[in-house]
């Protein structure tokens, strides 16, 4: 009898999992689609800032320019974020023929 009263008021009748809102995408986002986190994007993409929103962008491949963050938290200052390097690659200072520190460019390179 007590449980029936609760069901009528709606406090116990809620489903265990709330369904996603109608506007929420059911498929993984493709390149250029809006996202909240990388898990919203399809394989090979990450969710990164683009102006004042976030979109799915491609994960970086070998030889592509990457961003090396010196301090934790500096990622939030970028207006155009890049994805991280793909698995098996690391963001390292590009090796150039010339004086050290001539180029501050970082690229995705094999470990």
Phi (first) and psi of residue 16, to 5 degrees: -65, -40
Distance between CA atoms of 111 and 109, rounded to whole angstroms?
6
Per residue in 10-66, pLDDT tens?
445 545 555 555 555 568 999 999 999 999 999 999 999 999 999 999 999 999 999
Distance between CA atoms of 27 and 40, rounded to whole angstroms?
8
Distance between CA atoms of 60 and 99, rounded to whole angstroms?
27
Per residue in 65-84, pLDDT tens?
998 876 665 555 678 999 99
Question: Domains in the chain and their CATH numbers?
Answer: 33-110 (2.10.80.10)
pLDDT level of residue 95 (50, 70, 90 thresholds): confident
The pTM (predicted TM-score) of the whole model is 0.65
The percent helix, strand, coil of the chain (3-state, each to 5) is: 15, 25, 60
């Amino acid at each position: 009898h007590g449980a029936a009263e609760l069901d009528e008021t709606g406090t116990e009748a809620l489903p265990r999992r709330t369904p996603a809102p109608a506007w929420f995408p059911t498929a993984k986002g493709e390149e250029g689609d809006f996202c909240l986190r990388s898990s919203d994007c399809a394989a090979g993409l990450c969710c990164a800032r683009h102006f004042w929103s976030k979109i799915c962008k491609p994960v970086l491949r070998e030889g592509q320019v990457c961003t090396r963050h010196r301090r934790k938290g500096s990622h939030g200052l970028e207006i155009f974020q890049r994805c991280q390097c793909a698995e098996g690659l690391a963001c390292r200072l590009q090796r150039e023929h010339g004086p050290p520190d001539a180029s501050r460019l970082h690229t995705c390179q094999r470990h």
